[in-house]
């Protein structure tokens, strides 16, 4: 039989069995490290920062998820060093202003002409 001379042809039944077994077995789920819960006093800040990010994304003509998601905001508020808002351009654009806001050195205010505005806050 000429087909038997094709390299790997004799492996076809075994390969078929592996494929069939895979079809009936769920893929293994990666184990994610549990994230520490966000401090209760910081929870109200999340929607405020998320709204500011959404507005900023609109001004920059970017998808808001590209700038930062709710999970990114929560990671930043927890101080996660590996978060997207802790390094690179996102840290410059969002990370530092978020730290200023949470630290009481800045405030978000609504301006009828500009929407949400991040203002420096003088604390004496």
> Which residues pair with residue 120 across a beta bridge?
106
For 13, 16, 17, 29, the CA distances from 25, given in Å and listed in that order, are 19, 14, 12, 12
Phi, psi of 27 (to 5 degrees): -65, 150
For the chain, domain boundaries: 40-120
Q: What six digits make up the tokens of 33?
A: 């490290």
pLDDT at 22: 72
Determine the Cα–Cα distance for residues 9 and 75; give it in Å rounded to an integer: 52
> Which residues pair with residue 111 across a beta bridge?
115
pTM: 0.69
Element (H, E) at 84: none
pLDDT at 78: 92
Output the tens digit of pLDDT for each of the chain's 124 residues.
Answer: 454 555 655 665 676 777 777 777 777 767 666 778 888 999 999 999 999 999 999 999 999 999 999 999 999 999 888 899 999 999 999 999 999 999 999 999 999 999 999 998 876 6
CA neighbours within 13 Å on the CB side: how many for 71?
Answer: 7
pLDDT at 19: 72
Assign domain 40-120 to its CATH architecture.
Orthogonal Bundle (1.10)
pLDDT at 2: 52
Q: What six digits make up the tokens of 96?
A: 């530092």
pLDDT at 17: 74
* Residues with Cβ within 8 Å of residue 62, at least 6 apart in sequence: none
């Amino acid at each position: 039989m000429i087909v038997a001379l094709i390299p790997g042809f004799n492996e076809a039944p075994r390969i078929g069995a592996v494929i069939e077994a895979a079809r009936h077995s769920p893929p293994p789920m990666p184990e994610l490290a549990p994230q520490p819960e966000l401090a209760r006093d910081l929870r109200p800040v999340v929607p405020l920062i998320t709204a500011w990010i959404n507005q900023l994304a609109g001004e920059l003509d970017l998808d808001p998820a590209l700038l930062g998601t709710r999970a990114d905001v929560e990671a930043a508020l927890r101080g996660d060093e590996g978060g997207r808002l802790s390094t690179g351009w996102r840290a410059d654009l969002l990370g530092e202003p978020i730290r200023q806001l949470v630290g009481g050195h800045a405030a978000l205010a609504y301006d009828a002409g500009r929407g949400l505005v991040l203002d420096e806050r003088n604390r004496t």
